[in-house]
Chains A and B, each alone.
Chain A
């Protein structure tokens, strides 16, 4: 339950970002990353928070790992629980806060 998933920052608004994960868009909080994050950056996300900006040179390798994991798990023959974990990370966005 602690893998995190990489996604592309497509919108920014102060401390929240909209991040694209293979076509699925989620809001993600940026409180925990200490480097400035810009549109076009990749971030590693965990339970609704970006925990790391992925250095440009690492982006391809990181994406490949997850793509492999997700692809294998849709091939059907075997149950991959780790892929299920990745999927639940994909489902984890930061909710839009309601007005009190």
Chain B
């Protein structure tokens, strides 16, 4: 209880937990597809508080974690080129590729720069017309409009030395793929409230119908998540399967149309591999032919490449709920945030990193050794 009791709304949270437990006449398995939610659930110990009633599977809700190894390796190849300034959001720098990561490429002399906005990358390109500036465009629906806008702006301003390595993914096809997997155990989903702030939730409605699965658009705070779980449980207990919005405060059904339009103008759907999961049809975005001049894969003729995933990493089993991170033999020993074997140990939103930090925090506050974490 310790972790939740530190939370300012513990007094509101406890009755919610009791209510979820009362309403659940049998154990239900839910999946959150949002790294922010994963982080909160693990850190606040919500999964432990709900044990016996609700099992939470931490789904592929973190764009850093699901970026396919192929795209990471391509990023590494580009970053190593002498004429290239490679720009990326900071969380991608430590994601392991087949043999190294972007940070190591930088240490070996590659020009790798962290940017906070794709517009920073575009501005670097304008200041260095003699260099090729490549931006690593990753993310879910929330980030896609901003990245689309940067490409749009590059065309508008005529910046020929700017290009993007695109690895965008969209959530609804992943939900579909998870529901269609023969060994699927997920009975309801929490969708990411802030992702829906841009895209709305109209795309979730046919999914809920087709797969007869409740989907609750939920925030990332502990109370939001508990409320979202309660709404999902109420649907499950009464045999309903619709899209409901717990996160009313920031989400409209139709999302932000201007942003959606820009995404559609610049990107088109493509089959995309998700790291740890495999290929999901029409789950990714790539540049439309009209923007081919800004496609780093075409510009540098990258083509198909051969990759090498760490045989020790069980990310696929973690993402489908077959394995809890601490049960991975490498967890906390061969695989730590300092030396990650898999992407789930890198980002703040990855399930393995979330468990690792919880274990470390518990060890520190209890002043006793905690499991695998030294």
Task: Confirm or deny: B226 has a beta carbon within 8 angstroms of a beta carbon on chain A.
Answer: no
Cβ of B145 and Cβ of A32 under 8 Å apart? yes
**Interface size range of chain A in the complex:** 35 or more
CB of A87, distance to nearest CB on chain B (Å): 10
Give the complex CA separation of A44 and B194 in angstroms: 10
Residue B341 at the chain A interface, CB threshold 8 Å: no
B145→A51 contact, CB < 8 A: yes
Cβ–Cβ contact A2 & B142, under 8 A: yes
Partner of A91, one of B8, B116, B119, B197: B116
- Bitwise, A35-74 to B at CB < 8 A (1) or not (0) is 0000000001011110110100010011001001000000
Q: CB within 8 A of B197: which of A31, A48, A52?
A: A52
Given that A1-B64, A51-B198, A98-B127 are contacting pairs, would A85 and B348 also be in contact in the complex, using a CB cutoff of 8 Å?
yes
Bound Cα distance from A91 to B115, whole angstroms: 9
On whether A98 and B117 interact (CB within 8 A), knowing A34-B257, A58-B250, A77-B365, the answer reads no
The B interface, classified by DSSP as helix, strand, loop or mixed, is helix
By beta carbon, the residue of chain A nearest B159 is A100
Complex CA gap A82/B44 in Å reads: 13
Q: Which residues of A contact B140 (CB under 8 A)?
A: 2
Total chain B interface residues with beta-carbon distance under 8 A: 54
A61 and B249 contacting across the interface, CB-CB below 8 Å: yes
Asked whether, in the complex, the Cβ of B139 is within 8 Å of the Cβ of A2, the reply is yes
Which listed residue (A2, A32, A52) contacts B149, Cβ 8 A? A32
Beta-carbon contact of B348 and A48 below 8 Å: no
User: Which residues of chain A have C-beta atoms less than 8 A from B123's C-beta?
Assistant: 95, 97-98
Once A82-B39, A92-B116 are accepted as A-B contacts, the answer to whether A51 and B256 lie under 8 Å apart by CB is yes
Interface residues of chain A, those whose CB is within 8 Å of chain B, are 1-4, 29, 31-34, 44, 46-49, 51-52, 54, 58, 61-62, 65, 68, 77-82, 84-85, 88-89, 91-95, 97-98, 100
B interface, CB within 8 angstroms of A: 8, 35-36, 39-40, 43, 62-64, 89-91, 116-120, 123, 126-127, 139-140, 142-143, 145-147, 149, 157-158, 192, 194-195, 197-198, 219-221, 249-250, 256-259, 262, 347-349, 353, 357, 360-361, 364-365
